[in-house]
Structure 1
Amino acid sequence: MSIGCLCIHGYTGSPEEVQPLVDFLEARTDWEIANPTLPGHGEKLDLEGHYYQEWIATAELALLDLRKRHEKIYVIGFSMGGMIAAYLTAKYHLDRIVLLSAAGKYVSLPQMYKDVLEMLGDAFNGALASNELFTRYQKKLKDTYLFSTFEFMKCVQFTRPYLKDVRCPVLIIQGELDGMVPKEAALYLEKEIPSKEKELVFLKKSKHLICHGDDKEELFEEVLDFVRQP
């Protein structure tokens, strides 16, 4: 039975956020994997004039394209993409879903505080330019259109009610050091999703960009084991 897999990146992100996992799966499966860029996103952000409905529609069109050729569809969603993945899974009764750092409800103020302190420490030591977290978020803050943040919030609000309609097997993976979405979010997802088959995995060394974290090999193996289950 042929399998198609849709991967959905996060808000202000790009397919590169999940590309390491895509590469890993492509090397070990014969799946067709789609990893689209949501409108206004990518390496050069241009979010002004784009709405959350476009982000959902782009992912949905990629899904419908995969369904033309494959009997089974798996979906992997990162951060905001996880919420879009949940919506599509509920709407189309997909076969398996993987939620990576999914932005369901919470923002982690304590971890954000720790990250800021780390950045300040690097600034004091003259090493801020080499702080990967700072350089990544500095670019995002510079390039992010303010009002698109409200579209992100609307996207989460729109998709959240569909969590209760996800019935297929689900794998939830969360980094314990995530400064954007804390572990409580993963526990919330586990509670809200009524699937009988649920797995919840915490990665001790990972922050928000979980496919690029120190635990990424463990993540890749967890995903592969999950999707290979009968």
Structure 2
Amino acid sequence: MKGCLCIHGFTGEPWEVEPIAESLRKQKDWLVYAPTLPGHGPDGDLRTVTYQHWLYMVEVAAEELIKRCEEVYVIGFSMGGLLACYIAAKYEIKKLVLLSAAAYYLNPPMLFESVKATLHTQLTGVSEPDQLVDLYRHKMTNTPMSAVVQFMTAVKKIRPYIRHVQTPVLIIQGERDALVPRRSSEYLFRTIGAEEKYIHYLKDGRHMICHGFEKDQLMRHIHEFLIEKKDRRDEQNEISST
């Protein structure tokens, strides 16, 4: 059996990675787990938790999957991508997928573009698709500062682990992400120690990358990386040898 741990982002919930989780659950002999991080969800309180709680939970989840499954994969979105790197650095993980992973955060130009889109909507009554404006507004106005400090501490504490990741990794980033800048994915690709690593950019992808217009393209990249039996390096070797 293959196990897969799907980790959502800061202030988020499992629905952020649900399209991927549901797709993988349809595969034969796959056990997919997408937990709600401590302090998150409708009944959570981010004021009561620290980054250690998040690390502890994903470690326990990874250990449980390792006990039950022959191979374990980890997929992390946004802050969940950093937590996934931490797991991959400490445990024997088969493959790692990082989506809009927040090694760096806040992309001012794209955030400004989202604000402009909001004003356009308010002035003209015509909404532009995939802005997720209400979600951004809610997060900015309702997230406790103490939780933001914990998030920034988590990023700082996990960064040293990134260079120790030897697991084959796929990094996917939306070029129109308003919260995580492109340099975050570039840093991860450059710093991760794995020999086998791939990076893809979705031209119109925004932060909620699993729910955007390019979701099918995203899913195709993930399925090719996780499920295809043939190793991509073999394909590259065949092409170079012909």
Residues 104 and 181, structure 2, Cα contact 8 Å, conserved in 1: no
Please report how far the alpha carbon of residue 44 of structure 1 lies from its aligned counterpart in structure 2 after TM superposition: 5.1
Q: Which residue of 2 aligns with 1:202?
A: 201
Q: Which residue of 2 aligns with 1:227?
A: 226
Corresponding letter in the other structure for 1:91: K
Q: Which residue of 2 aligns with 1:92?
A: 91
Corresponding letter in the other structure for 1:170: V
Structure 1 unmatched runs, 5+: none
Corresponding letter in the other structure for 1:112: L
Q: What secondary structure sits across from 2:201 in the alignment?
A: strand
Q: Which residue of 2 aligns with 1:16?
A: 15
Q: Which residue of 2 aligns with 1:50?
A: 49
Q: What secondary structure sits across from 1:18 in the alignment?
A: helix
Alignment of 1:103-122 (within 5 A): 103-122=102-121
Alignment of 1:141-160 (within 5 A): 141-160=140-159
Indicate yes or no: 2:138 matched with 1:139. yes
Q: Give structure 1 regions of 4+ aligned residues with deviation exceeding 3 angstroms.
A: none
Mapped partners of 1:71, 1:28: distance in 2: 15
Please report how far the alpha carbon of residue 65 of structure 1 lies from its aligned counterpart in structure 2 after TM superposition: 1.0
* TM-score normalised to structure 1 length: 0.94
Please report how far the alpha carbon of residue 27 of structure 1 lies from its aligned counterpart in structure 2 after TM superposition: 1.6
Corresponding letter in the other structure for 2:113: K
Please report how far the alpha carbon of residue 132 of structure 1 lies from its aligned counterpart in structure 2 after TM superposition: 4.9
Corresponding letter in the other structure for 1:119: T
- Measured against aligned partners, the alpha-carbon deviations of 1:117-162 in whole angstroms (never above 9, x if no partner) come to 111111222457x985221122223431121100000010111111
Q: Which has the larger displacement, 95-104 or 46-55?
A: 46-55
- Measured against aligned partners, the alpha-carbon deviations of 1:26-83 in whole angstroms (never above 9, x if no partner) come to 1234210110000111245521121110011111111111111112110000000000
Residues 119 and 131, structure 1, Cα contact 8 Å, conserved in 2: no
Residues 105 and 184, structure 2, Cα contact 8 Å, conserved in 1: yes
Corresponding letter in the other structure for 2:8: H
* TM-score normalised to structure 2 length: 0.89
Indicate yes or no: 2:170 matched with 1:171. yes
Q: Which has the larger displacement, 169-178 or 135-144?
A: 135-144
Structure (1 or 2) with the larger CA radius of gyration = 2
Residues 96 and 167, structure 2, Cα contact 8 Å, conserved in 1: yes
Mapped partners of 1:87, 1:203: distance in 2: 25
The alignment covers a number of residue pairs equal to 229
Residues 4 and 33, structure 2, Cα contact 8 Å, conserved in 1: yes
Mapped partners of 1:25, 1:169: distance in 2: 18
Residues 72 and 93, structure 2, Cα contact 8 Å, conserved in 1: yes
Mapped partners of 1:18, 1:152: distance in 2: 19
Please report how far the alpha carbon of residue 206 of structure 1 lies from its aligned counterpart in structure 2 after TM superposition: 1.1
